[in-house]
Amino acid sequence: MTKDLTVGSPVKLILGFAIPTLFGMLFQQMYNMVDTMIVGKLLGSRALAAVGATGSISFLIIGFCMGVCSGFAIPVARQMGAGEHGKMRRYVANSVYLAAGFALVMTAATGLACQGILTAMHTPADIFEDSWRYIFIIFMGIPATFLYNLLAGIIRSLGDSKTPVYFLALSSALNIVLDVTLILWGGLGVAGAALATVASQAVSGLACLWYVHRRFPILRLGREERRADRRLCRDLCAMGVPMGLQFSVTAVGSIILQTAVNGLGSLYVAATAAGSKLVNFLACPYDALGSAMATYCGQNVGAGKLDRIGRGIRASLAVSVVYAVGALAAMLAFAPDCAVWFMDPGEGQTAELVGLVSQYVRVATAFFFPLAVIYVLRLSIQGMGYGTLAIFGGVLEMAARGLFGWLLVPALGFGAVCFASPAAWICADGFLIPGCLYCIRRLRRQQAQFRRTESLTAREPVHVHSRARWYADPVQLHRHRDRRLTAARPHRRSA
């Protein structure tokens, strides 16, 4: 079951693709959010702080894994849009080999390094042991993270955004059951929450694997298509690694900020943890729009329909404005009620913690539209094939959060923590807006150059064919032009 995003109304296609993806994002956020809520309710604010202290490290590593998998899906979407099904299957096979290699190396490296990272971040002594247990188990589940996100990305690149949601719904329910079972009845504490997350992610990944095998005959590989191809692996890494690095680069700033928050004490660590989980949950619609735009742009670039890219971006931003206003209104009214979800009412510091969480969430939602611009434009740029360029937006985010963490949080306290992310979003937008316009103009120039090259050897100008790799690097376009001109010259007879 595939879906073509190159024909029809852009806004209808994007919303039709994004809404099922949104439910998937909501369920995926529930993995971490439910852990945080159950830990806070059953184990108290100290355990909540222990889980929250690992959030930036988790974002650094797990975000890289998810970004790499999303990047691997972009060449698959391009070949789907271009109608090159054989080459699409070769990309799928090589993405599996690369994902397995990344998972093996990263699991070993992070398992060895997590204790040193927590020490370097000045994690408070009263939560250090629980923080280490939680993040170590999460890192041991990196293969499950790769399994689900790679298969879900491939399924979405073929136009099916609904099926991964069903499996995430199943695994989210399983996650809740396992959380309560392992924490309340098993007595495993924060380790039980981590085990529940990993096990649930593995279930969703295995479900996707079963579905791909049963329902996608287009992905059944022949013997030649299974072979590892160095050039295809380079193409996949050129898309996946920059996309993963942009998450990691952004996470470096979050780690610097988290280090500064750790210095304020475990109460502020808990408030930041609960507030960030709630903000991430509220931002899921933007994540879904971004994922839709990556596939939408990838397919339309492959089909040579560049005029549809701008229309899709404008439609996504218009939807984002409406949601940003609604989210802010909701949090102005209900932020304290939402904050209570993460707390044990019997603790003495509950009222102060509710106030801190409400302040954090309200400030963040007031700047939701700049966050929406990041998601829509960054994923659009990656879908157009300029993943390396999108990294610079992450660098600006990192710099802004790092500046707040080093200078402003020690001087101004929790108020600076609340404004750190909005400042980072605005800085990133200052690069991504002109960067997106540059990518569209460059693709149009390449398309026009390809048409001129084809017309040199044809009686009539040749329009861009859906299978033509006109969106390749300009160097390849020049080589293509030289080959066509050479072929068109009449051969001279030797004397």
* Residue appearing with tokens 């740029």: 381
Q: What was the pLDDT predicted at 277?
A: 82
Q: Is residue 72 part of a domain?
A: yes
Closest CA to 42 of 171, 164, 189, 225: 189
Residues 6+ apart with CB under 8 A from 248: 60, 61, 63, 64, 67
| Across 44-52, average pLDDT | 77
How far are the Cα atoms of 50, 110, 114, 121, 138 from residue 131, in angstroms, in the given order? Answer: 5, 14, 10, 12, 11
Mean residue pLDDT across the chain: 81
Q: Is residue 429 part of a domain?
A: yes
Is the CB of residue 286 less than 8 Å from the CB of residue 376? Answer: yes
pLDDT confidence tier of residue 468, bands split at 50, 70 and 90: very low
Q: Is residue 406 part of a domain?
A: yes
Is the CB of residue 260 less than 8 Å from the CB of residue 405? Answer: yes
SS3 for 421-473 is HHHHHHHHHHHHHHHHHHHHHHHHHHHHHHHHHHHCCCCCCCCCCCCCCCCCC
414 or 474, greater pLDDT: 414
The answer to pTM > 0.75 is no
Four-point Cα dihedral 270, 274, 279, 285, nearest 10: 140
Q: Is residue 3 part of a domain?
A: no
Tokens of 35: 């852990």
Q: Is residue 495 part of a domain?
A: no
Is the CB of residue 288 less than 8 Å from the CB of residue 67? Answer: no
Residue 487 in this model has a pLDDT that exceeds 70: no
Q: What was the pLDDT predicted at 347?
A: 57
> What residue numbers bound the domain in which 41 lies?
10-487
Is the CB of residue 299 less than 8 Å from the CB of residue 78? Answer: yes
Q: Is residue 4 part of a domain?
A: no
- Reported as a single tens digit per residue, the pLDDT across 158-204 is 777 678 778 877 887 888 888 888 887 877 888 888 898 899 889 88
- Reported as a single tens digit per residue, the pLDDT across 202-218 is 988 898 888 888 888 78
Phi then psi for residue 349, to 5 deg, are -95, 15
Q: Is residue 2 part of a domain?
A: no
Q: Is residue 305 part of a domain?
A: yes
- Reported as a single tens digit per residue, the pLDDT across 347-372 is 556 778 888 999 999 999 999 999 99
Please count the structural domains in the chain. Answer: 1
Q: What percent of the chain has pLDDT over 70?
A: 84
Give CA–CA dist 223/474, Å, rounded.
33
Give CA–CA dist 357/350, Å, rounded.
10
* Residue appearing with tokens 């789907």: 80
Four-point Cα dihedral 86, 168, 368, 404, nearest 10: -90
Residue 237 in this model has a pLDDT that exceeds 50: yes
Question: Which of 68-77, 134-143, 454-463 has the least mean pLDDT?
Answer: 454-463
Question: Which of 445-449, 450-454, 477-481 has the least mean pLDDT?
Answer: 477-481
- Reported as a single tens digit per residue, the pLDDT across 401-437 is 888 888 888 888 898 999 999 999 999 999 999 999 9
Residue 476 in this model has a pLDDT that exceeds 50: no
Q: What was the pLDDT predicted at 472?
A: 44
Q: What was the pLDDT predicted at 143?
A: 94
